[in-house]
């Protein structure tokens, strides 16, 4: 079958080139957006009198039939028709003959493909944001139920200061909120109509670009035709938002892997989200978390791939840009596969509060609070730090925690670090032990951003409000009228 662009050619394309050049095997997933984009274009051509109104109507009706045919699996796309755009146009002319040949007036595949990816991405971003809000809900839920669940907080993976499970969860909540906002910002940047840029230099037809933009739910039209066809920033931004999200999921996964180990024992994953070993009968492996962590790498790869494709391209369109799609699709598929399974895994985790508590009360997580206590009794912080250091090293040699000692023992050990006029009886008083329980450590950190339960409750309320107010865009299928 001859090509839509075959006019100036005398010989057909080599089969190898057809296979090499063709993108239909992957860009067929743009069919819905390609077709509704064409419907809007045809309507506008008719409205502007660029093509007869009747012809526009006929084209739109036929495009709808083609859409239904594709939905029902009745269409077989053709490699020799290169991509989704030419396949749809070929189907159209096969259906309505010469009238179908009017559709491509004032349009190029270059602005068409830019339009399709933007529309497709808009829908996918909406879906991803919905999945993200399910995850945020789950995280908030766990936090609400664990305001008092004390666990060690870590730096350098060494026990540092006590926090709560709620506080740890709400840290991820912040990340996922930023992720959602990043996707929405990316949506807004993608939400500009490139159609009307033509191949590169616009077109001489009196198109109504604003009409098409409104019909397809775009916020505006691109302001430079060269940029309109050659800009893939929005796709790069999308994969970069996806990469950051995956990085967050990967860090969370890493923690769940650690926490589910015998060494930590903080979490027991549900049987429904774990796997066994083919040889070691005792094993229960956190495969889901590991796979999410592993799949992060491929999304980074998608990002690097597209950045590299774009970096040397002169304006405007170059065929290299056909390579944008598979990376974008892969990033979408990966994120959409990871989010629900990660949420399910998290939802079904059982947190071993007893082990968390035990771990938080060992490892001198209250040492800072011990130092702060003596600061409150008049010792400069740097000296308090040294005194506490001395106490800790002595405790280690005795294999004891600070709170295993008596007040007198503490006074005795710390005495050598005090200066003239600093009275141990005034510095280490009866209320010392109450001030350094892990509960007091957490309770005392009540500044905005801290883990104190009352503060956390407010943070949770704020996040819940955010969740109820966040505006996730609607997908085309929900609002587009034929
Ligand atoms: N399949 C092409 C792509 O994905 C569509 C645009 C082709 N334009 C062209 N002038 N060959 O980029």
- With a 6 Å cutoff on the Cβ, whether 321 touches ligand 1 is yes
| Residue 277: active-site member | yes
- With a 6 Å cutoff on the Cβ, whether 89 touches ligand 1 is no
Do 139 and 52 meet the contact criterion of CB atoms below 8 Å apart? no
pLDDT above 70 as % of the chain: 100
Helix (H, G, I), strand (E, B) or coil at 154: strand
Ligand 1 centroid distance, CA of 79 (Å): 14
Residue 163 bridge partners (DSSP): 151
C-alpha pair distances (Å), 18 with each of 9, 13, 15, 350, 409: 15, 6, 5, 54, 85
Structure-block tokens of residue 226: 């060269």
- Number of Cβ within 10 Å of residue 443's Cβ equals 17
What pLDDT does 469 receive?
A: 98
Atom number, ligand 1, closest to the C-alpha of residue 27: 4
What pLDDT does 6 receive?
A: 82
Nearest residue by C-alpha to atom 12 in ligand 1: 322
- With a 6 Å cutoff on the Cβ, whether 231 touches ligand 1 is no
Question: For residue 236, which of 310, 184, 185 has the smallest C-alpha distance?
Answer: 310
What pLDDT does 63 receive?
A: 98
Nearest residue by C-alpha to atom 3 in ligand 1: 322
Q: How confident is the model at residue 10 (pLDDT cuts 50, 70, 90)?
A: confident
What pLDDT does 395 receive?
A: 96
Between vectors from CA 435 to CA 430 and to CA 437, what angle results, nearest 5°? 115
- With a 6 Å cutoff on the Cβ, whether 109 touches ligand 1 is yes
pLDDT for 2 beyond 80: no
Residue with tokens 């239904």: 68
Q: How confident is the model at residue 7 (pLDDT cuts 50, 70, 90)?
A: confident
- With a 6 Å cutoff on the Cβ, whether 23 touches ligand 1 is yes
Ligand 1 centroid distance, CA of 383 (Å): 70
Structure-block tokens of residue 272: 């429904």
Say which of 156, 278, 397, 468 is annotated catalytic. 156
Mean pLDDT of 142-164: 97
Do 426 and 377 meet the contact criterion of CB atoms below 8 Å apart? yes
Ligand 1 centroid distance, CA of 44 (Å): 23
What pLDDT does 191 receive?
A: 98
Nearest residue by C-alpha to atom 4 in ligand 1: 322
pLDDT above 90 as % of the chain: 93
Ligand 1 centroid distance, CA of 86 (Å): 10
At a CB cut-off of 8 Å and minimum separation 6, what does 30 contact?
84, 116, 117, 120, 325
Ligand 1 centroid distance, CA of 145 (Å): 53
Q: How confident is the model at residue 231 (pLDDT cuts 50, 70, 90)?
A: very high
Between vectors from CA 101 to CA 98 and to CA 104, what angle results, nearest 5°? 165
Q: How confident is the model at residue 204 (pLDDT cuts 50, 70, 90)?
A: very high
Mean pLDDT of 66-74: 97
C-alpha pair distances (Å), 137 with each of 140, 144, 256: 5, 10, 18
Ligand 1 centroid distance, CA of 64 (Å): 23
Atom number, ligand 1, closest to the C-alpha of residue 23: 1
What pLDDT does 190 receive?
A: 98
Compute CA 83 distance to the chain's CA centroid, rounded to the nearest angstrom. Answer: 29
What pLDDT does 9 receive?
A: 87
What pLDDT does 295 receive?
A: 98
Lowest-confidence region among 71-85, 247-261, 270-284, 370-384:
270-284
Structure-block tokens of residue 308: 């590299």
Residue with tokens 């589910």: 260
- With a 6 Å cutoff on the Cβ, whether 113 touches ligand 1 is yes
Do 5 and 104 meet the contact criterion of CB atoms below 8 Å apart? no
Instruction: Give the predicted TM-score (pTM) of the model.
Output: 0.95
Q: Which one of 309, 319, 327 would you pick to mutate in the ligand 1 pocket, going by the greatest count of ligand atoms within 8 A of its CB?
A: 319
- With a 6 Å cutoff on the Cβ, whether 110 touches ligand 1 is yes
Do 32 and 476 meet the contact criterion of CB atoms below 8 Å apart? yes
- With a 6 Å cutoff on the Cβ, whether 83 touches ligand 1 is yes
Q: How confident is the model at residue 474 (pLDDT cuts 50, 70, 90)?
A: very high
At a CB cut-off of 8 Å and minimum separation 6, what does 140 contact?
169, 170, 173, 460, 463, 464, 467
Ligand 1 centroid distance, CA of 30 (Å): 13
Q: Which one of 31, 34, 113, 306 would you pick to mutate in the ligand 1 pocket, going by the greatest count of ligand atoms within 8 A of its CB?
A: 113
Per the model's pLDDT, the better-predicted residue between 11 and 344 turns out to be 344
Say which of 25, 261, 270, 277 is annotated catalytic. 277
Atom number, ligand 1, closest to the C-alpha of residue 321: 12
Q: How confident is the model at residue 437 (pLDDT cuts 50, 70, 90)?
A: very high
Alpha helices in 225-286 (DSSP H): 225-230, 233-259
- Taking only the tens place, the pLDDT of each residue in 99-137 is 999 999 999 999 999 999 999 999 999 999 999 999 999
Structure-block tokens of residue 212: 């098409």
Helix (H, G, I), strand (E, B) or coil at 152: strand
Do 327 and 239 meet the contact criterion of CB atoms below 8 Å apart? yes
Average pLDDT over the chain, rounded to whole? 96
Do 411 and 425 meet the contact criterion of CB atoms below 8 Å apart? yes
pLDDT for 4 beyond 90: no
- Number of Cβ within 10 Å of residue 379's Cβ equals 22
- Taking only the tens place, the pLDDT of each residue in 128-144 is 999 999 999 999 999 99
- Taking only the tens place, the pLDDT of each residue in 269-325 is 998 998 887 878 787 899 999 999 999 999 999 999 999 999 999 999 999 999 999
- With a 6 Å cutoff on the Cβ, whether 112 touches ligand 1 is no
Q: How confident is the model at residue 1 (pLDDT cuts 50, 70, 90)?
A: low
Mean pLDDT of 185-211: 98
Question: For residue 434, which of 360, 369, 340, 380 has the smallest C-alpha distance?
Answer: 369
Q: How confident is the model at residue 184 (pLDDT cuts 50, 70, 90)?
A: very high
């Amino acid at each position: 079958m001859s090509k839509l662009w075959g006019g100036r050619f005398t010989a057909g394309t080599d089969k190898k080139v057809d296979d090499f050049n063709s993108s239909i095997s992957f860009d067929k997933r743009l069919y819905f957006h390609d077709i509704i984009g064409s419907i809007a274009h045809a309507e506008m051509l008719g409205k502007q009198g660029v093509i007869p109104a009747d012809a526009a109507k006929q084209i739109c009706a036929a495009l709808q039939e083609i859409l239904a045919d594709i939905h029902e699996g009745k269409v077989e796309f053709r490699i020799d028709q290169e991509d989704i755009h030419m396949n749809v146009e070929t189907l159209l002319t096969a259906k309505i003959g010469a009238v179908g040949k009017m559709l491509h007036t004032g349009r190029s595949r270059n602005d068409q493909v830019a339009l399709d990816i933007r529309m497709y991405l808009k829908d996918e971003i909406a879906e991803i944001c919905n999945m993200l809000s399910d995850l945020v809900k789950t995280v908030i839920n766990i936090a609400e139920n664990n305001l008092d669940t004390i666990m060690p907080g870590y730096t350098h993976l060494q026990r540092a200061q006590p926090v709560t499970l709620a506080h740890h969860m709400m840290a991820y909540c912040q990340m996922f909120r930023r992720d959602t906002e990043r996707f929405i910002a990316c949506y807004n940047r993608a939400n500009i109509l490139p159609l009307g840029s033509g191949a590169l230099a616009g077109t001489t037809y009196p198109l109504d670009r604003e009409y098409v933009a409104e019909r397809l739910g775009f916020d505006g039209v691109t302001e430079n035709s060269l940029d309109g066809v050659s800009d893939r920033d929005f796709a790069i931004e999308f994969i970069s938002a996806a990469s950051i999200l995956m990085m967050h999921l990967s860090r969370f996964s890493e923690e769940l892997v650690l926490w589910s180990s015998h060494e930590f024992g903080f979490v027991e994953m549900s049987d429904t989200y774990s796997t066994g070993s083919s040889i070691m009968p005792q094993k229960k492996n956190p495969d889901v978390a590991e796979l999410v962590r592993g799949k992060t790498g491929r999304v980074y790869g998608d990002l690097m791939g597209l950045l590299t494709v774009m970096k040397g391209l002169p304006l405007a369109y170059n065929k290299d840009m056909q390579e944008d799609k598979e990376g974008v699709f892969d990033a979408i598929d990966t994120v959409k596969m990871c989010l629900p399974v990660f949420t399910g895994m998290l939802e079904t985790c059982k947190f071993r509060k007893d082990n968390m508590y035990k771990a938080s009360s060992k490892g001198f997580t209250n040492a800072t609070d011990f130092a702060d206590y003596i600061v409150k009794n008049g010792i400069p912080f740097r000296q308090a730090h040294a005194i506490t250091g001395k106490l800790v090293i002595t405790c280690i040699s005795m294999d004891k925690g600070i709170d295993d000692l008596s007040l007198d023992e503490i006074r005795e050990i710390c005495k050598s670090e005090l200066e003239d006029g600093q009275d141990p009886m005034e510095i280490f008083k009866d209320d010392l032990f109450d001030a350094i329980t892990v509960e007091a450590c957490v309770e005392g950190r009540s500044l905005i951003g801290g883990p104190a339960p009352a503060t956390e409750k407010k943070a949770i309320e704020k996040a819940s409000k955010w969740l109820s107010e966040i505006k996730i865009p609607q997908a085309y299928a929900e609002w587009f009228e034929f």
